Structure 1
Amino acid sequence: MHLWKAIGFTTLIYFAGIIGISGDYYEAARIDGATKSQMALKITVPLLTPLIIIMLILSIGGMFRGDFGLHYFIPNNSGFLFSSTDVIDTYVYRALREVGNVSMSAAVGFYQSVVGLVLVLAANGIVRKINPDHSMW
């Protein structure tokens, strides 16, 4: 379900990145006799590498973030599916709605955000050590 939801947005991001590549590169490659697969491997992929790395860093940051709509509304909060569809986001909502424990749900939400931030900083640090030009900051 998540792939069906995210594939359109991701496709648009990469399509915008491909459109941003200057046509002069492809024209010069055509004049030199390059095939379409060679142009894709030698021009498109290297020029999209920064975009791919940024999308990877952002997806690593969202690793502990569950899709609330997918995990709450699709199974309809069914007790039978509850053990396999419960994620941090639905736990925070359930703790607020049913138990009324504001401090616990705030702590869990804050922990989730801090872990996401640490993962983004770590992934960006690794990318900065490998290639400083491709890191976010």
Structure 2
Amino acid sequence: MWKGIGYGAVIYYAALMGIDAEYYEAARIDGAGKIRQAMSISVPMIMPIIVMLTILQIGKILYGDFGLFYNVTLNSSLLYPATDVIDTFVYRSLIDLGDFGMASAAGLFQSFVGFILVLATNFIVKKNNPDHSLF
């Protein structure tokens, strides 16, 4: 989770910088404080970005951090029950076992489920607010 925060922060910051300053100026003239400006201007204006990044993160829900699970455990078979994720299973089936079919099937399953999750989440978003859906 920590390694994706920087990327998300840059995207959200860019979205916030794209909001016209006149909205905030009008809110200040009307007497709105910082919290009211954030809730009434900032959040609604960046809601499409929030929805898009959430949909994309839901699509990556089955992906594990290969570097973490492979390098920290150093491919120790004693730790497989606790640290085995689809990414390390695909790598191990391909390199150690030489089973191309199993590695391809596991990778395809991971990608297919992620794709279905993206479509389902987009469908739910489209039902609630058609302006925020990806396609």
Q: Distance in 2 between matches of 1:20 and 1:80?
A: 51
Amino acid of the residue matched to residue 44 of structure 2?
P
1:40-119 equivalence runs, <5 A: 40-119=38-117
1:4 equivalent in structure 2: 2
Residue 106 (structure 1) shift: 0.3
The reply to whether residue 22 of structure 1 matches residue 39 of structure 2 is no
Q: Distance in 2 between matches of 1:73 and 1:66?
A: 13
Q: Distance in 1 between matches of 2:18 and 2:72?
A: 37
Q: Percent identity?
A: 52
Q: Distance in 1 between matches of 2:129 and 2:111?
A: 27
Residue 82 (structure 1) shift: 2.7
The answer to which of 3-12 and 91-100 deviates more is 3-12
Q: Distance in 1 between matches of 2:6 and 2:75?
A: 27
| Aligned Cα root-mean-square deviation (Å) | 1.1
Amino acid of the residue matched to residue 94 of structure 1?
R
Q: Distance in 2 between matches of 1:124 and 1:103?
A: 31
Amino acid of the residue matched to residue 23 of structure 1?
A
Residue 80 (structure 1) shift: 4.0
Residue 69 (structure 1) shift: 1.2
Distance 1:13 1:58, change over 3 A: same
| Residues 67-92 of structure 1: per-residue CA shift (max 9 Å, x gap) | 21121123322344332111000000
| Residues 4-41 of structure 1: per-residue CA shift (max 9 Å, x gap) | 21111111111111111111110111111110010011
TM-score computed with the length of structure 2 as normaliser: 0.95
Unaligned regions of 5+ residues in structure 2, if any? none
